[in-house]
Amino acid sequence: MALTIQNLLMNMKEERKKTKTDEDDDFILVQKSNSEWPKLFDMYFSSTTTRLAQTSTGITSDDDLVFYVTRKTADNVQNYASKYSVEVFRHHDTKRQPKLGAPEYDWEETTNLNLVLHQFEYTVTTAVCVKPTNQHLQIIKRLSTRVYASPSYRGMENKGIEEIISYPNIYFTVDNFEDTFCEMFINEGQIVCVELIAKNPTLNDAKVLFLGSIKYEALKEVYETRVTTSTRVAQRVSLGMYMKRRMEFVRMRGPNGKGHAQMAVSRFRPVQSNIAISESNSTASTASSHDADYRSQRRMTENGLVSESSLPTFKQQNAVMPEVESNNIRQELSHDEGGFLGRTLNQAMDWMRKSNPRLNQTINSLPLQTCLTYITLPCNLIVKDILESSSMPILTVQ
């Protein structure tokens, strides 16, 4: 009998129950030497006879990539993001692939990573909304695009081409974010909302992985502070001839500290187009171009080890980037508006005072263009939502 994604998810749930510890607040798992994880990985991702077809192609192929995760020894671990390394092989390259059950590999993490990369399609939706009442959210503009999960990351601030290993953080990147979200702009009193969902074509329901929002006021405060500081420096260097429109990057910390989303923020400029977009729930269909980019990116890491020996270790490159905490939209609709707005503005103002204490002048309202560049989440939280979450998408049209 052919195995299905339903079989895999059920087996993973059962195995996770065996290895779950009492300290389950952060969903900490303990790897047992006699666990079934190597067997599950072989059945669903490695075996030539029983492995599942990938959602990106709908078929199994010898060109498919298989990912392996190793956990480094304590002596080599400097921080959480560097305690794993990732190896990737062609499926047909069995001679080079690790021996099944080899103790240096984390077979639960390996199963998790291949599930996230191969078995689900991901859609990110950004929406500009207003909140007429505490229990109602009105969508003014909505755009969706397909994104792909990756255990590596390229800097969006300078259009970097260097891949940096990020695992266990998984990145969902919008490479052409300026074109994809060129119509997304926000005005005073509005909210920009972000939702990421995962869906397998054979499953009935989509899983919400990320759902957050930022008020216009918070984005404006951070943007104006950044643009004032950076423009002053640029004008000094260019003897006052600097006229380029600034794009600033702001990190949205996910609700309850779950993951991050990055927004590129700039002054809004109308885009000349032969096609008028008037619907409030327009969807950007860019999957075809993303498919080509994704396949190209994945082929960059297909020849063996993907770790420090071939790529730089992931580092916290966003340490100096302003960060604003978002709120879950569902929580936003169930609480009074003053609490969330006050909390978000206070965080933005605190960052402003630290970066530019002399900036006290009132800034006039201006529309801001907001482009989502990426969402990143820990792999184990993605798997937890896939296996356990029952939340329905509220922004993404299915």
> In this predicted model, what pLDDT tens digit does every residue of 64-73 receive, in sequence order?
899 999 987 6
Please give the angle made by the CA atoms of 347, 350 and 352, to the nearest 5 degrees.
110
Q: How deeply is 281 buried, as exposed, middle or buried, from its count of CB atoms within 10 A (0-12, 13-18, 19+)? A: middle
Residue ranges per structural domain of the chain: 5-22+30-118, 122-388
pTM of the model: 0.76
How many Å apart are CA 267 and CA 247, to the nearest integer?
8
Whether 286 shows a pLDDT value over 60: the answer reads: no
166-184: average pLDDT: 89
Whether 343 shows a pLDDT value over 50: the answer reads: no
pLDDT of residue 333: 64
Between 236 and 142, the more confident residue is 142
Contacts within 8 Å (CB) and 24+ apart, 169-172: 169/81, 169/314, 169/376, 169/377, 169/378, 169/379, 170/116, 170/376, 170/377, 170/378, 170/379, 170/382, 171/374, 171/375, 171/376, 172/122, 172/124, 172/147, 172/148, 172/196, 172/374, 172/375, 172/376, 172/377
Mutual orientation of helices 216-237 and 337-355 as an angle, nearest 10°?
20
Whether 345 shows a pLDDT value over 70: the answer reads: no
Whether 19 shows a pLDDT value over 50: the answer reads: yes
> In this predicted model, what pLDDT tens digit does every residue of 257-270 receive, in sequence order?
889 999 989 887 65
How many Å apart are CA 272 and CA 286, to the nearest integer?
19
